């Protein structure tokens, strides 16, 4: 095969979950994405809501089997030598659709070719093939080194919640667990054993927690030898806090993220994306009685670059915030410049 050589790498990625404005939710998934020529392969497949088979929440034995399959040390799961490259983030059922490709050896090299969207056992390349994607030829040593480094799999993401409003913390913990993020509540992390602290990827503080208390908690993590992400809660709004925590747990390299910037003033939100993708922007506000109001202010596909999205003044009256989501990331920001109350 005459395919030109491409570089092969792996990078942590997420499928952003979340509590949605309509009360529904989608599951958060941590996974390892394939990086081809320095760019996530998923970005070459338009706005696809999918994850690779290398996900953090599958049993270790299955994770290892997925790695072995990609190394061609196990039989392909589909006819014609085809492997699932990306699948449904909710159930991984082929009936929901999956991106598949033929993986084969050519001497020491590995080749990925004939990418297609597949919903049953056999792929129709003429009807559902990804034209212009691949074939990719990878140097065997680079390819094997990247995959074998995953032998221990991924650690599950957990967050430690600290705040004064127990009811809000309980709702937040329940929401996080619903979308697949572990959450625990404590009033004093200094009493938590070091081995338990090492299981957290982030610590989230409510607005009522003082700076001295926050510093003491962070020192406890430092003594335990843990590099933990700090989340300073913007407001007691559960979907907003979920978005902040998901962003904090995102370990994907900054140059490989789709959603890179979000800022909002009273009249508009500014958002920047690195590849064409669907973006949903939701506005949240607190009224005088601290009741939460939510409104979806934008839902559409944006091309790479910076965009200005108008905001309905009624949606961001008073104390307000916006959350922007793509299939691979989420950002939250306060709305500045508005009048309180």
Range of the domain at 35: 5-154
Please provide residue 220's backbone torsions phi and psi, each rounded to the nearest 5 degrees: -65, -40
Mean pLDDT of 318-327: 91
Structure tokens, 289: 């009685």
* CA separation, residue 289 to residues 169, 282, 292, 318, 341 (Å): 19, 21, 9, 12, 10
Mark whether 180 and 206 lie in a shared domain: yes
Higher pLDDT, 4 or 322: 322
- Whether residue 334 is predicted with pLDDT greater than 90 in this model: the reply is yes
Mean pLDDT of 263-272: 91
Mark whether 315 and 284 lie in a shared domain: yes
Least confident of 182-196, 208-222, 290-304: 182-196
What local confidence, expressed as pLDDT, does residue 60 receive?
64
Mark whether 96 and 228 lie in a shared domain: no
| Rounded CA Rg of the chain | 22
CATH at residue 162: 3.40.50.2300
What local confidence, expressed as pLDDT, does residue 21 receive?
66
What is the DSSP pairing of strand 39-40 with strand 29-36? Answer: antiparallel
Mark whether 165 and 232 lie in a shared domain: yes
Note the pTM of the prediction, 2 decimals.
Answer: 0.68
Residue 340's pLDDT band (cuts 50, 70, 90) = very low
Mark whether 62 and 187 lie in a shared domain: no
Q: What contacts 23, CB < 8 A, 6 or more positions away?
A: none
CATH at residue 268: 2.60.40.10
DSSP label at residue 41: G
Residue 141: Cβ within 10 Å count: 10
Give CA 284 to chain center in angstroms: 21
The last residue of a domain, from among 154, 183, 216: 154
Mark whether 292 and 200 lie in a shared domain: no
pLDDT tens for each residue of 80-117: 889 999 988 887 778 888 899 999 999 999 999 999 99
Q: Based on the structure, what is the number of domains in the chain? A: 3
What local confidence, expressed as pLDDT, does residue 341 receive?
41
Least confident of 82-96, 108-122, 230-244, 268-282: 82-96
The last residue of a domain, from among 154, 176, 201: 154
Mark whether 48 and 180 lie in a shared domain: no
């Amino acid at each position: 095969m005459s395919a030109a050589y491409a570089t092969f790498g792996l990078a942590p990625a997420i499928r952003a979950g979340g509590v949605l404005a309509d009360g529904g939710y989608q599951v958060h998934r941590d996974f390892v994405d394939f990086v081809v020529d320095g760019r996530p392969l998923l970005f070459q497949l338009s706005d696809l809501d999918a994850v690779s088979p290398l996900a953090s929440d599958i049993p270790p034995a299955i994770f290892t089997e997925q790695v072995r399959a990609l190394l061609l040390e196990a039989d392909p799961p589909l006819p014609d030598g085809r492997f699932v490259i990306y699948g449904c983030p909710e159930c991984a059922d082929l009936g929901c659709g999956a991106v598949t490709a033929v993986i084969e050896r050519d001497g020491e090299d590995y080749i990925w070719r004939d990418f297609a969207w597949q919903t049953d056992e056999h792929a129709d390349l003429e009807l559902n093939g990804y034209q212009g994607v691949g074939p990719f030829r990878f140097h065997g040593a680079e390819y094997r080194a990247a995959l074998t480094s995953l032998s221990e799999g991924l650690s599950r993401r957990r967050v430690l919640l600290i705040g004064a409003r127990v009811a809000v913390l309980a709702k937040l913990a329940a929401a996080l667990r619903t979308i697949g993020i572990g959450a625990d509540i404590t009033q004093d992390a200094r009493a938590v054993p070091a081995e338990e602290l090492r299981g957290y990827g982030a610590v989230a503080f409510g607005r009522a927690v003082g700076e001295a208390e926050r510093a003491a908690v962070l020192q406890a993590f430092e003594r335990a030898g843990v590099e933990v992400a700090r989340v300073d809660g913007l407001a007691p709004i559960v979907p907003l806090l979920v978005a902040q925590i998901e962003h904090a747990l995102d370990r994907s390299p900054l140059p490989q993220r789709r959603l890179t910037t979000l800022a909002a003033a009273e009249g508009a939100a500014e958002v920047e994306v690195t590849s064409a993708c669907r973006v949903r922007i939701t506005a949240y506000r607190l009224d005088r009685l601290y009741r939460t109001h939510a409104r979806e202010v934008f839902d559409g596909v944006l091309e790479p670059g910076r965009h200005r999205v108008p905001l309905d003044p009624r949606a961001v009256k008073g104390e307000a915030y916006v959350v922007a989501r793509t299939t691979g990331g989420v950002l939250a920001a306060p709305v500045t410049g508005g009048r309180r109350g």
